[in-house]
Structure 1
Amino acid sequence: MGSITDTKIDYSVHPRVNSTDPFTPRPRPVKPAHVIRSDEEAIQIAETLAASFKVGAALRDREGLLPIAELDAYSQSGLWSINVPKAYGGPEVSYATLAKVIAIIAAADPAIAQITQNHLAIVATVDLDGTEEQKKLFFGWALEGLRYGNAFSELKSKTVAEFETKVVHDGDDVVVNGEKFYTTGALLAHIVPIVGVDDTGQGYLVFADRDASGLTVTNNWSSFGQRTTASGSVKIENVRVPKARALKVTSFDHPTVGGPVSQIIQSAIDVGIARGTIDDTIEFVSKYSRPWIDSGKATAGEDLFTIAQIGDLKIKLHAAEALLEIAGHAIDAARANPTLETVSEATIKTGESKVLTTEIAILSTNKLFELAGTRSTLAEHGLDRHWRNARVHTLHDPVRWKYYHVGNYYLNGVHPPRHAWN
């Protein structure tokens, strides 16, 4: 697998974030993606890709450059189909391994890691809710290297769980209308699954082509963090899709791992942000920082208080990583035997991991500047992206509610709610 850094990119014409410039949908891959055969291979490929992604991460963030070449290499690597079941030709790796893969990529560039999030969650939804024909089709597309974006969150609804996007049944087709925001991955996708409801309130995931008539993806993501995720908006105007590509979503009506799968990917991204930040803190302190005058030391790395703080960060990072792995195995167990008890256990363990990964992501990105010193804030280093990425990504769902659900489960035996944010 060649390095993406071998490709010369003309940044003067390179697509940028939050731009009104015309954007042509990405072509489908000319050859099938690689198919990974083991958990070990998935980790190895992730590490190889991460080394390439890290090289230009600060530049992409600073200039708002969309990770076009990086994303093509990523989806062709086979890592976008690692949760496709073996029965359909996929690797079906452990969700503990999937979380490790995402954390490895996120440590290099969390924006690239987040673009994968919805694709992998959609693959899991197909596994839970798809008909046999839909599984063959949608898993097959993932194995070919097609990328699923998302048109999930509503632009104007009162809560994240209320959907105003309408699905109308019309013969052999469905027709969809609505507006979406936070559509991570849609701009750079080949297929855009749209969440909507029909007149009975039944939810659907409708797999529309990225270039479908009536589907408009706007590159208007202007957040100060996770800038290059291209998480803009989608307008859906009479988008007609064959009914066979409208997947009925029922996985939150009964105990399934739908919620924990979505959440563990979020936790893994935050672990990656923390890991990358701590690595950069250690490197900066070792190479560039000056010792404080009261320390009496010759180098910043000998400062007793700095040493202790690095130790504290590493301990908390390792605790978050350990709980992330525990959550992954709990998801594996619940997927194999989905009962109220096993799914609740997976949900709670994943919620616990979300607490620790959020805390270490925010703590480490604050401590970077405290320990590395004023010169670490200079624009030439691009280290501010770590804090901005952590602050924005950890807003995905309120971690304050994780404490409540975890406490209510252990204290009162109350099972946690089932939805995509839990």
Structure 2
Amino acid sequence: MTSYQTLQHVKSLSRQKAHVIQSDAEALQIASQLAAQFEQNAVQRDRERILPFEEIEAYSQSGLWAITVPKIYGGAEVSSLTIAKIIALMSGVDGSIGQIPQNHFYALEVLRNTGTEQQKQRLYAEILAGARLGNALAEFKTKSAAQKTASIRKTDQGVSIVNGEKFYCTGSLFAHRIPTLVTDEQEHEFLAFIPSDSKGVEKIDDWYGFGQKTTGSGTVKFHQVKVVSEDVIPFDQAFLQPTLVGPFAQLMHAAIEVGIARAAFEETLIRVRQARPWIDSGVDSATQDPLTLYELGRVAADVRASEVLLKQAAQSIDLARPQPDADNIARASIDVAKVRAHSSETALKAASKLIELAGSRGSQRKDGLDRFWRNARVHTLHDAARWKYYFIGQYVLNGILPPRRGTL
């Protein structure tokens, strides 16, 4: 699909005012209903790489993309635990759909911390009405991930000009605005909430990862794009002081992996009941195979441990939110790092054991069992689990606070 076709597809979707969710309980109920709907064609979407335009429209119109909007602006302001549960649920039925709104919520968290009152009122109102945010944060052609070349420059006409190229722009093919990380002449970083139909914005569907295939994580190019000051908020300031921007972002990543792990394990139970026992087991059913039971027990323990760690991390974030300071933000970051590291390993293990314990039948393309491993393997590449363990060790042994940037 070309960038022009993508834009026309987004425009063709209805922009009726979205439902406004009022509570955590309502959000979880709606998410459960939608997850059942999204599961129906998940294997086909993955196999044929069918981008989920209609599903994402239904997702945002349901009101679920506005549930982090603070109550004072008309939103439900649900708990971090509710957000984690919903993302895990969606990721279990379709890893791509689970990941797509992650950067949407991330941008809203930056807005919460560094936006002006006027910006919050305007952008939150758009989100409550059903607007979707993508992202253009990462760059592919720099020497290191820390380097950014996309620029923003003020003009004499009172607007700014954005130029640059971004990659791994998850969700941008479905977005109405694309929050874009840019740098000015003084090397200060900003997040520009650029309308996706702005002149000079080019969205390219060129994401060809072997997993998370339909996240829309391709390239976005900006050619002399005009941006008004009302759409630009500080970005680096979100990390100069203790905020929840980093741990909240990582919590959502962990939830994606926890959801994949749980779904892979539940699928394993179904497949083992259908499998034949190993010839040397001496039993009549695979459900009685002692080594199969051993492997299932190990995966069950790991999946549950990841879920418990996810709950603990979400609660740490919510405890820190009223009065964030260096200490409680560090504790929240470390709790999130624990689940992020553990869930990365658990998702890969659970997804691999699914295929192993299903036997040779588990390799059939029509069943798409490999999608759990492929999605987990690609998503876990966002951040290295080995560095999570390093910072956890530094904190518990030496009392060194973890970095505030969004990688922990």
Sequence identity, in percent? Answer: 43
Alpha-carbon distance in 1 for matches of 2:74, 2:227: 26
Corresponding position of 2:6: 23
CA contact (8 A) 1:29 1:145 kept: no
Corresponding position of 2:322: 336
Find the partner of 2:383 among 397, 400, 421. Answer: 397
Corresponding position of 2:298: 312
Corresponding position of 1:253: 240
**What do the CA deviations read for 1:310-356 (whole angstroms, capped 9, x no partner)?**
12211111110111011111111222111000100110000001011
Alpha-carbon distance in 1 for matches of 2:80, 2:6: 34
RMSD: 1.3
| Structure 2: runs of 5 or more not aligned | none
Alpha-carbon distance in 2 for matches of 1:157, 1:172: 30
Q: Counterparts in 2 of 1:138-149, with a 5 A limit?
A: 138-149=123-134
Is residue 366 of structure 1 aligned with residue 366 of structure 2? no
Corresponding position of 2:394: 408
Alpha-carbon distance in 1 for matches of 2:3, 2:243: 41
Find the partner of 1:196 among 174, 182, 200. Answer: 182
Corresponding position of 2:362: 376
Count of aligned residue pairs for this structure pair: 404
Alpha-carbon distance in 1 for matches of 2:16, 2:221: 30
CA contact (8 A) 1:365 1:387 kept: yes
Shift of 1:203: 0.8
Q: Secondary structure at the match of 1:223?
A: coil
Letter matched to residue 5 of structure 2: P
Is residue 277 of structure 1 aligned with residue 264 of structure 2? yes
CA contact (8 A) 1:185 1:229 kept: yes
Is residue 38 of structure 1 aligned with residue 32 of structure 2? no
Corresponding position of 1:11: none
Corresponding position of 1:103: 88
TM-score normalised to the size of structure 1? 0.93
CA contact (8 A) 1:174 1:246 kept: no
Which is further off, 70-79 or 28-37?
28-37
Find the partner of 2:341 among 351, 355, 370. Answer: 355
Q: Counterparts in 2 of 1:81-100, with a 5 A limit?
A: 81-100=66-85
Q: Secondary structure at the match of 2:376?
A: helix
Alpha-carbon distance in 2 for matches of 1:162, 1:286: 51
Alpha-carbon distance in 2 for matches of 1:378, 1:29: 37
Is residue 216 of structure 1 aligned with residue 216 of structure 2? no
CA contact (8 A) 1:152 1:180 kept: yes
Alpha-carbon distance in 1 for matches of 2:125, 2:145: 30
CA contact (8 A) 1:29 1:146 kept: no
**What do the CA deviations read for 1:16-64 (whole angstroms, capped 9, x no partner)?**
xxx6883334126432111111111111111111111111111000001
Alpha-carbon distance in 1 for matches of 2:395, 2:6: 47
Letter matched to residue 275 of structure 1: R
Which is further off, 392-401 or 169-178?
169-178
Shift of 1:376: 0.6
Is residue 266 of structure 1 aligned with residue 226 of structure 2? no
**What do the CA deviations read for 1:350-398 (whole angstroms, capped 9, x no partner)?**
0001011111101011111211101110111111111111110000111
**What do the CA deviations read for 1:225-253 (whole angstroms, capped 9, x no partner)?**
00011100011111001111111121111
CA contact (8 A) 2:356 2:362 kept: no
Task: Specify whether residues 136 and 21 from structure 1 end up closer, same or farther in structure 2 by C-alpha distance, changes over 3 A only.
Answer: closer
Which is further off, 249-258 or 289-298?
289-298
CA contact (8 A) 2:3 2:203 kept: no
Alpha-carbon distance in 1 for matches of 2:137, 2:194: 13
Alpha-carbon distance in 1 for matches of 2:47, 2:369: 10
